[in-house]
Amino acid sequence: MTRTRFSRTGSSEEEAKPTTSSGGGGGTAMRVIVPLQGVVQGRGGLFLGSVIPCALFYFLQLYLRRNRSEPSTPPPPQPTEGEESSPSSSSTGQLAEVSVLQRSLSRSHLSPRSAGGPIFVSGRAVSVAKRGDSPYDVGMRKVSENPYDELENPDGVFQLGLAENKLSLDLVRDWLADNARDAILGGGRSGAELGIGGIASYQPFDGLMELKVAVAGFMSQVMEKSVSFSPSQIILTAGAAAAIEMLSFCLADSGNAFLVPTPYYPCFDRDLKWRSGVEIIPVPCRSADNFSLSIMALDRAFNQAKKRGIKVRGIIISNPSNPVGNLLDRETLYGLLDFAREKNIHIVSNEIFSGSTHGDEEFVSMAEIIDLEDLDRNRVHIVYGLSKDLSLPGFRVGIIYSFNENVLAAAKKLTRFSSISVLSQRLLVSMFSDTKFIQNFIEINRARLRGMYIKFVSGLKQLGIKCIKSNGGFYCWADMRGLICSYSEKGELELWEKLLNIAKVNVTPGSCCHCIEPGWFRFCFTTLTEKDIPVIMERIRKISETCKSSC
Amino acid sequence: MTRPRTPDHQTESQARKPAGATAMRLIVPLQGVVQGRGGLILGSLIPCALFYFFQLYLKRHRSPKSDSNNISPSQSSSNLAGLQRSSSRSNLSSRGSIGRVQVSSRASSIAKPNDSPYYIGLDKASEDPYDRFYNPNGIIQLGLSENRLCFDLIEKWLSENLNDSVIGSNGGELSITGIAGYQPFDGLMELKVAMAGFMSQIMGRAVSFDPSLMVLTSGATPALEILCFCLADPGNAFLVPTPYYPGFDRDMRWRTGVELIPVHCRSADNFIISLTALDQAFNQARKRGVKVRGILISNPSNPVGNLLPRETLNNILDFAQEKNIHIISDEIFAGSTYGNEEFVSMAEILDSEGIDKSRIHLVYGLSKDLSLPGFRVGVIYSFNESVFVAAKRLTRFSAISAPTQWLLVSMLSDTRFTRAYIETSKKRIREIHDLFVAGLNQLGIRSAMSSAGFYCWADMSGLILSYSEKGELELWDKLLNVAKINVTPGSACHCIEPGWFRCCFTTLSQEDIPIVMERIRKVAETCK
């Protein structure tokens, strides 16, 4: 392309010269100096005079685009050392490596494109495959290799990084032992009318209507209010991760963005970005405000994104928040709605912990706010699931509750890619229909959660570690700023590494949750038994002593 | 772009007549700018700006068009076509509106009402399903590929073994955390092992599968989509021999942005893929600037039901090697064979030769061979390390429910049951196939040679009034609305020859067959 165009320029210059000689005097000098000018004035000038600048401009754009796409992908700043380190991977622990690997991802996009010999794998697959060496993943791997067991492996690693609730599994087990058989074979209700066809054959991908009705009932029961959920607005997916991904597909095109208050759930990065190509714009919340969301910060982030030319399509909030565990109050929710209305964007409210509240504050669901306000329902989407509140993550049940018809229609079709096994659905339908069991479960689970929370927080307090007051969820968000040597992400990760490798406690560092203040850690306490708490506190104490003495 | 043309013309004349220049300058300000001071800068700036706006204009007008391309160019028939086209308009309108909140353009193209006769028929049949006693005038479902012939076997097994398999036998090892707690998203290792055993049992002979190369997904549909995400970037393409399973259009294209390029097979070759057609399609794609990343084959084929001979498989392998592309082999019907031909899995070919395995990916599932579509179990079997790792991570979005997995672990490990099941199932499929094909033959409708799957690929070109897609869809419409039989027209499978229909017979019982034939006969008579 370029070559032909250059040759064309050349020839037209030759054409241009004769004409100029017949023209005025001073012009020649100018023309020699500025060939472009000559071209413009010569014959065919009209054509070439516009084509050449256009071509130049086009190449400029091309150049700019190439150089731009690179830096825009890696969100964490700071240039890195290992320029061609992309194919390397794994090797745990090392801080330096962790940060390098994360950032190298954008470069890995480029490398397969140029490769000739070996079979090509898509750029997105490469980037997905590369990931997984954030401290979050490293911690998970360490635990799975060497899990703590009171009797068999007392030196193993404690899992405080995975949001799982094991406090009330005994209740679920007892129920299953008594009822699973009837539930699956359809004996539970009106004879065996369903039969095998009801389990084995194709059912609607977006979930059985019976289960939707049951889940709607469960949700209003759990939220303890007069909020009612309409089963026809429910879409069931294989886990909340799929629900979030589906919503991000439906609400944003690739290259668009969502505003997400930080610190946020580390896996949002996967659920929103991996396949849907949506960006996350962090809206930092600070310890000074107890990490509660301010509309001002939202507004600032929105405007900055707009300046960068990025379309913001929505806000994603977690309420109760993960990792902090605080609740959004009614006022903030109204503020959010107003903000969303003003900017004409969506709100995705992740309320997966709404039944796991353990404080005195009341939980207010977005659905309740919307119930009172008739307008604007179209922009509100609620994500829920049974992994937390019913402690059944293995069942993989997520829920999209949306008021937007288009979103419902699209999500319904997309569930072909993440539907729930009908067998498990039947099991759940009959579990929910046992209202006595459900009522009992919610009460007992909440009481146990509260008990555990109080014990764990007071244990940390004795070590001089304070936590943000939490009202929901399985976490405590601990302030360990006093224990880090350098007040930076590096210092934080050093402490995290000590906790993991020396104290053998896997926690989630704040930087994984994109918290802007270093030194905060997420502890999940619902995987523990009460006996474990002293053991953990002792382990943390040892580390904190070495930290205090060495810094 | 057009505007600068006039001033530039005048540049010429002006250069020659400096006297009139001032006047001209007033008339054509652009010209003045070019020649006056700052001429160089403005002279390039202005065309650039114009060019920029031109690009902007093009970009705006292009994007909705490409959307409607996505929506599949195949089906027409007047009312269907209308639906298809409206998609791009809805995109535009949502973009323009201010008050209502926008949905992403990919969502709005997915959310549109179904446009393929395949899905329209499925919806209709589910609204008014045939039942011998309760709804004898309902629509008979021959469009959904489900095998209801062996439900009794599954039911029997379940009633005998259910308690032990889900909750663990006599207080056995399986604790509640195994069911309720987080499990690896890509499937339990126990199930992978059992699945590998089941697959080698199905594929017969000495093919062995390695559980550590396996990723389990919630159905074969996400398995295909995940592979598509992993092998191709948006804008890339896969070659797919036609006629193909109508669902591929959704699985491979909706979210991944990948194109499917049909490679046409003809009835003269009994719809077996030819290498020349592949090559041609590949070259055409390349000329269009589309990168082809792989070939997607179904073996046994859906809808035709034929098997790919060993030789063809070898040819496809060579082709893929030569072009350096992937092969996805969808072998979900591998255990539902009933003919005399032997089924050859891609895995078997690989075992025997020393080929680059990293380009081969198998898709399997339990929806067909074990007739458990409700359980949502799909399998990706890939030799490619990066695909495997990426697929494993992506299963976070389509994992199988743990109780179902445990149930299957014990069902698949019960080899006595699985062996008996496979045998009986093959026998029953063959019986119903023979009955169905004989019934069609009596009506003068012949079908393609098939030896696997749940379908009969019937040639009804004698019944269509005009030999075209339109004629075919008219017949389909009659069958659906007059005869109340939902079949899948060939055009929904992108078959290039009109008049072929896919009839799924495994949802029927033997008593239904005369009724189906009678209904078809009536329509056939009106057609003739």
Q: Are residues A360 and A468 in the same domain?
A: no
Least Cα distance to B135 among B144, B145, B127 occurs for B127
- B48 to chain A: which residues are within 8 Å by CB? 53-54, 56-57
Distance from CA of A521 to the nearest CA of B (A): 22
pLDDT at A151: 86
Asked whether the beta carbons of residue A395 and residue B111 sit closer than 8 angstroms, the reply is no
Residue B444 burial (CB count, 10 A): 12
Q: By the 8 A CB rule, do A537 and A544 touch?
A: no
Is residue A19 classed exposed, middle or buried when 0-12, 13-18 and 19+ CB atoms within 10 A define those classes? middle
- Do A457 and A482 fall into the same domain? yes
Q: How many whole angstroms separate alpha carbon A402 and alpha carbon A413? A: 14
Residue A204: cis peptide before it, omega within 30 degrees of 0: no
What residues of B are in contact with residue A27 (Cβ under 8 Å)?
A: 15
Question: Is A82 among the domain residues?
Answer: no
What are the b/e assignments for A256-291, b being 16+ CB within 10 Å? bbbbbbbbbbbbbbbbbbbbbbbbbbbbbbebeeeb
Backbone angles phi, psi at A282, to 5 degrees: -70, 140
The answer to whether B56 contacts chain A (CB < 8 Å) is: no
Q: Which residue from B462, B456, B465 is spatially nearest to B485, judged by alpha carbons?
A: B456
B176 and B282 fall within a common domain: yes
Q: Which of B118, B130, B244, B245 is catalytic?
A: B245
Structural domain count of chain B: 2
- CB pair distance less than 8 Å for A122 and B233: yes
Q: Both A394 and A364 in a single domain?
A: yes
Please state the separation of Cα A70 from the chain's center in Å.
22
Residue ending a domain, among B392, B417, B442, is B417
What size, in residues, is chain B?
528
The reply to whether A153 and A208 lie within a common domain is no
Which CATH number fits the domain that encloses residue A239?
3.40.640.10
For residues B149-178, give the mean pLDDT: 73
Residues in chain A with CB shorter than 8 Å from the CB of B177 are: 166, 169
Closest chain A residue to B182, measured at CA: A394
Give the nearest chain A residue to B155 (CA atoms).
A196
- Residue A3 above 70 pLDDT? no
Higher pLDDT, A36 or A343: A343
Q: B238 and B358 in one domain?
A: yes
Q: Are residues B239 and B256 in the same domain?
A: yes
Q: What percent of chain B has pLDDT over 70?
A: 80
Average pLDDT of chain B is: 82
Q: Would you state the pLDDT for residue B182? A: 87
Q: What is the CATH number of the domain that holds B402?
A: 3.40.640.10
Q: Are residues A430 and A443 in the same domain?
A: no
**CATH number of the domain that A154 lies in?**
3.90.1150.10
Residue A43 lies in a domain: no
pLDDT for position A459:
93
Q: Is B12 within 8 Å of A176 when comparing Cβ atoms?
A: no
Cβ pair B146:A201 closer than 8 A: yes
In the predicted model, is pLDDT for residue B73 greater than 60? Answer: no
Taking the C-alpha atoms of residue A436 and residue A445, their distance in angstroms, rounded to an integer, is: 14
Query: What's the one-letter identity of residue A132?
Result: G
Tell which of B391, B417, B443 closes a domain: B417
A4-43, pLDDT tens digit by residue?
Answer: 444 444 444 444 444 434 444 444 544 444 445 544 455 5
| Catalytic site includes residue B332 | yes
**For range A407-426, the mean pLDDT:** 93
Q: Given strand B292-298, what is the order of strands in its sheet?
A: B214-217, B378-382, B360-365, B326-330, B292-298, B237-242, B259-264
Q: What is the C-alpha separation between B215 and B192, in angstroms, rounded?
A: 8
Let me know whether B328 and B380 are in one domain.
yes
Got the DSSP string for A389-450? TT--GGG--EEEEES-HHHHHHHHHHGGGSPPPHHHHHHHHHHHH-HHHHHHHHHHHHHHHH
Nearest to B386 among A125, A195, A313 (CB): A125
Phi, psi of A382 (to 5 degrees): -110, 135
Q: What is the pLDDT at residue A385? A: 94
Beta bridge partners of B217: B378
B15 located within any domain: no
Sort out which chain B residues have CB atoms less than 8 A from A53's CB and list them: 43-45, 47-48, 51
Greater model confidence, A29 or B442: B442
Predicted complex ipTM: 0.78
Q: What is the DSSP letter of A377?
A: G
Find the DSSP H helices in A146-229: 169-185, 197-200, 209-222
pLDDT score of B61: 58
- A450 and A416, same structural domain? no
Q: Kind and range of the H or E element at B508?
A: none
B494 interface with A at CB cutoff 8 Å: no
Burial of A61 (0-12, 13-18, 19+ CB in 10 A): middle
Interface of B with A in 126-165 (CB under 8 A): 144, 146, 148, 151-152, 154-155, 158-159, 162-163
Q: Is residue B280 part of a domain?
A: yes
C-alpha closest to that of B109 among B61, B68, B60: B68
Give me the residue from A46, A54, A256 closest to B51, CB to CB: A54
Please give the C-alpha separations between residue B224 and each of A135, A139, B494, in angstroms, as whole numbers: 31, 31, 19
Q: Are residues A364 and A485 in the same domain?
A: no
pLDDT exceeds cutoff 90 at B439: yes
Give residue A260's pLDDT band: very low, low, confident or very high (50, 70, 90).
Answer: very high
Please tell me which residue in B249, B330, B426, B445 is annotated as part of the active site.
B330
∠ Cα B205 B210 B214 (to 5°): 120
Q: Is B283 helix (H, G, I), strand (E, B) or coil?
A: helix
Any domain includes A232 = yes
Is residue A119 situated within a structural domain? no
Which is the catalytic residue, given B192, B323, B368, B484? B368
> How confident is the model at residue B140, as a pLDDT?
92
Nearest-angstrom CA–CA distance, B53 and B41: 18
Same domain, B252 and B364: yes
Domain boundary among B386, B417, B448: B417
Least confident among A191-195, B163-167, B243-247, B287-291: A191-195
* pLDDT higher than 70, residue B7: no
- Both A258 and A397 in a single domain? yes
Residue A141 has pLDDT above 90, yes or no: no
Q: Is residue A25 part of a domain?
A: no
- The answer to whether A264 and A445 are in contact (CB under 8 A) is no
Read off the pLDDT band of B96 (50, 70, 90). very low
Work out the average pLDDT over A236-256. 94
| Cα of B461 to nearest chain A Cα, Å | 31
Catalytic annotation on B245? yes
- Mutation site for B-interface testing, chosen from A111, A196, A272, A386 by largest number of B Cβ within 10 Å: A196
Residue of A50, A159, A258, A414 for testing the chain B interface, max B β-carbons within 10 Å: A50
Cβ atoms within 10 Å, residue B428: 17
Mean pLDDT of A324-340: 92
* B446 and B407 in a common domain: no
Range in A8-17, B167-176, B246-255 with the lowest mean pLDDT: A8-17
Bigger pLDDT: A180 or A105?
A180
Domain of B335?
169-417
**Model confidence at B162: pLDDT above 70:** yes
Q: Does B221 contact A45 at a Cβ distance shorter than 8 Å?
A: no
Of A50-64, A517-531, B11-25, B98-112, which one has max mean pLDDT?
A517-531
Q: What is the DSSP string of B66-105?
A: HHHHHT-S---SHHHHHHHHHHHHHHHHHHH-SSSPP--H
Residues B306 and B180 in one domain: yes
How many contacts, defined by CB atoms under 8 Å, are there between A and B? 326
Q: Is residue A302 part of a domain?
A: yes
Same domain, B395 and B459: no
Cβ separation of A270 and B372 shorter than 8 Å? no
CA distance B446 to chain A (A): 29
Residue B70 covered by a domain: no
For residues A231 and A248, membership in a common domain is answered with: yes
- Evaluate whether A271 touches A248 at the Cβ level (below 8 Å): yes
**C-alpha distances out from residue B469 to A322, B75, B77, Å:** 55, 8, 8
Task: Judge if the upstream peptide bond of residue A282 is cis by omega within 30 degrees of 0.
Answer: no
Residue B151 has pLDDT above 50, yes or no: yes
Boundary (domain end) residue, out of A434, A452, A482:
A434
Q: Judge whether residue B2 has pLDDT over 70.
A: no
Q: Are residues A444 and A518 in the same domain?
A: yes
**Same domain? B264 vs B370:** yes
Beta pairing partners, A486: none
Same structural domain, B309 and B401: yes
Interface test with B, best of A121, A185, A206, A268 (most B CBs within 10 A): A121
Chain B's closest residue to A55, CA to CA, is: B48
Residue A499 within a domain: yes
Q: What percent of chain B lies above the pLDDT cut of 90?
A: 54
Residues B431 and B461 in one domain: yes
Which residues in chain A are closer than 8 Å to B383, comparing Cβ atoms? none
Task: List the end-to-end C-alpha distance of chain A, in Å, as a whole number.
Answer: 63
Does a structural domain hold residue B21?
no
* CB atoms A404 and B103 under 8 Å: yes
B389/A contact by beta carbon, under 8 A: yes
Q: CB distance B180–A391 less than 8 Å? A: yes
CA pseudo-torsion sign A496, A500, A501, A502: positive
Three-state secondary structure string covering A449-517: HHHHHHHHHHHHHHCCCEECCCCECCEEEEECHHHCCCCCHHHHHHHHHHHHHCCCEECEEHHHHCCCC
Q: Answer yes or no: is pLDDT of A289 > 60.
A: yes
Domain-located, residue B402: yes
From A119-128, B11-20, B465-474, the region with the lowest mean pLDDT = B11-20
Cβ atoms of residues B41 and B68 within 8 Å: no
DSSP string, B299-335: SS-TTT-----HHHHHHHHHHHHHHT-EEEEE-TTTT
Q: Which one of B316, B332, B360, B485 is the catalytic residue?
A: B332
Give the residues across from B488 on adjacent strands. B502
Instruction: Give the residue numbers spanning the domain of A356.
Output: 201-434
Instruction: Write out chain A residues lying below 8 Å of B158, CB-based.
Output: 184-185, 196
Q: Which residue of B has its CA nearest to A201?
A: B374
Domain stops at, among A399, A434, A469: A434
Whether residue A347 is predicted with pLDDT greater than 90 in this model: the reply is yes
CA A247, CA A271: separation in Å to the nearest integer? 10
Q: Domain boundary residue among A418, A434, A450? A: A434
pLDDT single digits (tens) B447-494: 998 899 999 999 999 898 889 999 999 999 999 999 999 999 999 999
State the total domains in chain A.
2
- In angstroms, the CA A377 to CA A367 distance is 9
Do A493 and A353 reside in the same domain of the chain?
no
Considering the domain architecture, whether residues B431 and B476 belong to the same structural domain is answered as yes
Query: Contact A53/B43, CB-based, under 8 Å?
Result: yes
Inter-chain CB proximity B372 and A46 less than 8 Å: no
One domain for residues A205 and A303: yes
> Is the residue at B229 inside a domain?
yes
Q: How many CA atoms lie within 13 A of A177 on its CB side?
A: 14
- Is A2 inside any structural domain? no
Contact (CB<8Å) B111/A420? no
**CB within 8 Å of chain A, chain B residues 78-117:** 98-108, 110-111
The CATH code of the domain that includes B124 is 3.90.1150.10
Q: Is residue B179 part of a domain?
A: yes
CB contact under 8 A, A416 and B39: no
Mutation target for A interface from B218, B228, B377: give the one with most A CBs within 10 A: B218
The values of phi and psi at residue B486, to 5°, are: -95, 105
Nearest chain B residue (CA) to A240? B397
Structure confidence at residue B203 as a pLDDT band (50, 70, 90): confident
Output the pTM of the full model.
Answer: 0.79
Distance of alpha carbon B224 from alpha carbon B142, whole angstroms: 24
pLDDT at position A429 = 92
Of the two residues B277 and A50, the one the predictor is more confident about is B277
Has residue B95 been placed in a domain?
no
Contact between B176 and A40 using a beta-carbon 8 Å cutoff: no
- Predicted confidence at residue B63, as pLDDT, reads 45
Is B421 known to be catalytic? no
Of B9, B155, B159, the CB nearest to A46: B9
Nearest CB to B180; choose among A195, A197, A392: A392
- In angstroms, the CA A517 to CA A133 distance is 21
**What number is the average pLDDT over the span A292-316?**
93
Q: pLDDT for A449-473, tens place per residue?
A: 999 999 999 999 999 999 999 999 9
Q: Which residues of A touch B219 (CB under 8 A)?
A: 416-417, 419
Which residues 189-218 of chain B have a CB within 8 Å of chain A? 218
